[in-house]
Structure 1
Amino acid sequence: MEQAQDAPADGGAIGNVANSWVMTLLSMGIDGKGPFDSAEEVVRDVARKHTDPQAQVDAIVRKHIALAGAEGFATSVGGFITLPVALPANVLAFYLLATRMTAAIATVRGYDLRQDKIRSAVLLALVGADADELLAKVGVVAPTGVLTGLAAKQLPHSALMVLNKAVGFRLLTTAGKKTFSRFGRNVPIVGGAIGGGLDAFLMHRIAESARTEFPPLAPQITSS
């Protein structure tokens, strides 16, 4: 796994694994599969209980933090994941939850998950500070944020595919080390078989990053 971080664009066998990993995060993490609800379904659920957008985001975050810390959740979704590489079940489940949570926050904030650049931005939120480095590999400098950089550059689909694969390489490297890397300046990211309580803590940190990377597209009227 160590070589995945700097693997070439085609990547050979590792490239296939990275592609499969990314496709799983996009298809299941964002669009849902089996008992794993899509990001939009999560948003519809919280919208029935909360009309205020900020309250909706808070509810989404609480839900995913609780799931991240729940014993047995990883095995409940494991049967719906097929990857050409063995990764700990809790790592797979954690990233699926983190992807869905980030996508749901983006949806509440007014972003269209059907757009490839938004889906790529969701993936980039999972790698934290490494996002700037990965964007630079496809010619994007984003001093004011991941989403701003993607929107300004208007990358073609082929470039977004390269970017997505780079995210896959980075996540596989992190998972393979079974340790912690840094997420942003002070935010650790999951990297192996760890306890549910710490998973919940790390999910909270990713949620804070997602709130920052996906600011509301338009002023929102909040309830008094």
Structure 2
Amino acid sequence: MGLFGFGKDDDVKEMEKDISVTGSALERAKKGDEGGMAGAATRLMERLLDTGIDGRGPLDSAHKIATDALAKRRTTDEAVDEIVKDHTMMAATGGFLTSLGGFITMPVAMPANIVEFYLLATRMVASIAKTRGYDIDKPEIRSAILLTLVGADADDLLKKAGVVATGRLSNLAAQRLPGPILMVVNKAVAFRLLASAGRNTLARFGKGLPVAGGFVGAGLDTYLIRKIADSARREFPPVTDGTVR
């Protein structure tokens, strides 16, 4: 089981394995051998979409998270606030526990933390989008959800994929992009997340001290997931015409 009770099935274990060798994969990519990195990015993309949005095992789907939040709160904004609060607490807990041992536990703890952080972040963004009236089963909306994870890099990734970005990411739903284009966008997001994973590891273990590293990890994951939450609030404004987008 993962830190939050996420089922460690073969798919998630494979995803952790991908991230644990990201450094060597990046080096191979620089030398022209992109096979390993491409495979890791593909698996990461698939897990974020399938597990992060649709749920698997003990991990509830974004549909259920949004429905439960709306049932307990009087307004959409209150439901979104609860979703963000719950996921921030889980991210902080995961960051603390996996960073607690400093450099001693880093080789084992970091892949698990990175996997679960991105799964949490994906589910949080998808839940916000669902709460605000978006159809998170639409391929374009699912791509917009993944793009939200990379923040300011989203426009750059869209341009490189040949997509003209117009306003908010949720506007991708109106463009009816072909499946192959969306696949390119989704993979580009996964590549960017894998690359940023290494930078976050260095920041998290800059001092490498046991116990103190736990607070650094909790603080970093809290900061990152709040940034993603702020982006999600901007990119998925409430649907006002009563229709599901």
| TMscore range, shorter length | 0.7 to 0.9
Q: Which protein is richer in helix relative to its size?
A: 2
Matched, 1:203 2:225: yes
Distance 1:131 1:143 in 2: 12
Q: Report what 2:64 is aligned to.
A: 41
Q: Alpha-carbon deviation of 1:145?
A: 2.4
Matched, 1:144 2:167: yes
Q: Report what 2:154 is aligned to.
A: 131
Change (3 A) 1:3 1:132: farther
Change (3 A) 1:6 1:210: farther
Q: Is the Cα–Cα contact under 8 Å of residues 150 and 192 in structure 2 kept in the other structure?
A: yes
Normalised to the residue count of structure 1, the TM-score between the two structures is: 0.78
Deviates more, 1:196-205 or 1:86-95: 86-95
Matched, 1:108 2:116: no
Counterpart of 1:197 in structure 2: which amino acid? Answer: G
Change (3 A) 1:50 1:219: farther
Q: Report what 2:88 is aligned to.
A: 65
Q: Report what 1:122 is aligned to.
A: 145
Q: Deviation per CA, 1:116-164, whole angstroms, max 9, x where unpaired? A: 010000000001111001100222232522222x235321011101111
Where structure 1 has 5 or more consecutive residues not aligned to the other structure, the ranges are 76-85, 181-192
Q: Report what 1:172 is aligned to.
A: 194
Where structure 2 has 5 or more consecutive residues not aligned to the other structure, the ranges are 1-22, 99-108, 204-213
Matched, 1:55 2:73: no
Distance 1:67 1:119 in 2: 22
Instruction: Find runs of 4+ consecutive structure 1 residues off by over 4 angstroms.
Output: 3-8, 71-75
**Is the partner of 2:151 in helix, strand or coil?**
coil
Q: Alpha-carbon deviation of 1:219?
A: 6.0
Change (3 A) 1:111 1:5: farther
Distance 1:11 1:38 in 2: 32
Change (3 A) 1:140 1:123: same
Give the counterpart of 1:20 among 40, 43, 51.
43
Counterpart of 1:70 in structure 2: which amino acid? Answer: T
Normalised to the residue count of structure 2, the TM-score between the two structures is: 0.72
Change (3 A) 1:108 1:42: same
Distance 1:195 1:17 in 2: 24
Q: Alpha-carbon deviation of 1:49?
A: 1.0
Larger radius of gyration: 2
Work out the number of aligned pairs and report it: 196
Q: Is the Cα–Cα contact under 8 Å of residues 169 and 236 in structure 2 kept in the other structure?
A: no
Q: Report what 1:186 is aligned to.
A: none
Q: Alpha-carbon deviation of 1:71?
A: 4.4
Q: Deviation per CA, 1:173-205, whole angstroms, max 9, x where unpaired? A: 11133346xxxxxxxxxxxx9511331222112
Distance 1:152 1:3 in 2: 38
Distance 1:130 1:7 in 2: 24
Q: Report what 1:184 is aligned to.
A: none
Q: Report what 1:162 is aligned to.
A: 184
Q: Report what 2:54 is aligned to.
A: 31
